Amino acid sequence: MGGARGRAGKADGDFWIGLTREGGANQTQSDLSSLAFCSQLYYWTDGSAASFRNWYFDEPSCGSEACVVMYHQPTALPGLGGAYLYQWNDDRCNMKHNFICKYDPESLRVKEHSHGPAGRDTASTARGRGVTLSADGEDAPTKVPVAGASGLLLLYVVIPTIPLLLLILVASGTCCFQMMSRR
């Protein structure tokens, strides 16, 4: 399959999805004689059975590959099973890939609380976003204010333009100086 792929682009990169084969890579090919049987041996890292499967055309191969990645190779040429996008492939567990994490939202909370208006507490998350919590135990929906990306995008535009403007200023000053010195 390596020859079927094009050159890797910046956006290419497979993702570990947290699915591994029971028994790992220590099983022999005779133990895994049926691909349908092999597909049933994969479990999530928390121990739960995988009820959903999205294997690529000829996967899982059930050899020494016991960990699962999700293809994300938008610049690769399509193979027999189509584009290498979002389908699963079993791979060696020691390969380096990106990863997708599932986490409990409470794990991002910072321990420091500050009292907000109307007797509510506001806690900051690791990303600096506020979460409003009800202090009186009522079943109020959690409010998560999310700042728009426009402010951050503005910084990505303004900061690189400063050196560009300085370069234009220096270049025009140099041209003016040369024109004035010739007269």
- Residue 52 belongs to a domain with what CATH number? 3.10.100
Q: Of 125, 124, 84, which is closest to residue 108 (Cα–Cα)?
A: 125
Is the confidence at residue 136, as pLDDT, over 50? no
> Which of 33, 67, 99 is where one domain is finished?
99
* Predicted local distance difference test score (pLDDT) of residue 163: 92
Is the confidence at residue 106, as pLDDT, over 80? no
E strand intervals along the chain: 15-21, 42-44, 67-72, 85-91, 98-99, 109-115, 121-125, 130-133
Is the confidence at residue 128, as pLDDT, over 60? no
Same domain for 165 and 94: no
Q: Report the domain count for the chain.
A: 2
**136 within a domain of the structure (yes/no):** no
Same domain for 88 and 167: no
Is the confidence at residue 138, as pLDDT, over 70? no
Asked if residues 133 and 142 have their Cβ atoms less than 8 Å apart, the reply is yes
**16 within a domain of the structure (yes/no):** yes
Is the confidence at residue 169, as pLDDT, over 90? yes
Alpha-carbon distance 5 to 77, whole Å? 5
List pLDDT tens digits, range 25-76: 555 555 545 556 777 888 888 888 888 888 887 788 878 888 888 888 788 7
Is residue 84 classed exposed, middle or buried when 0-12, 13-18 and 19+ CB atoms within 10 A define those classes?
A: buried
* Predicted local distance difference test score (pLDDT) of residue 172: 96
Q: Of 139, 140, 133, 138, which is closest to residue 110 (Cα–Cα)?
A: 133
Domain that holds residue 71: 2-99
Same domain for 85 and 16: yes
Same domain for 161 and 95: no
Same domain for 89 and 10: yes
**128 within a domain of the structure (yes/no):** no
Global pTM value: 0.45
Question: What percent of the chain lies above the pLDDT cut of 90?
Answer: 11
97 is written with which tokens? 């890939």
> Which of 73, 99, 125 is where one domain is finished?
99
4 is written with which tokens? 């079927």
H/E segment holding residue 28: none
> Which of 99, 114, 141 is where one domain is finished?
99
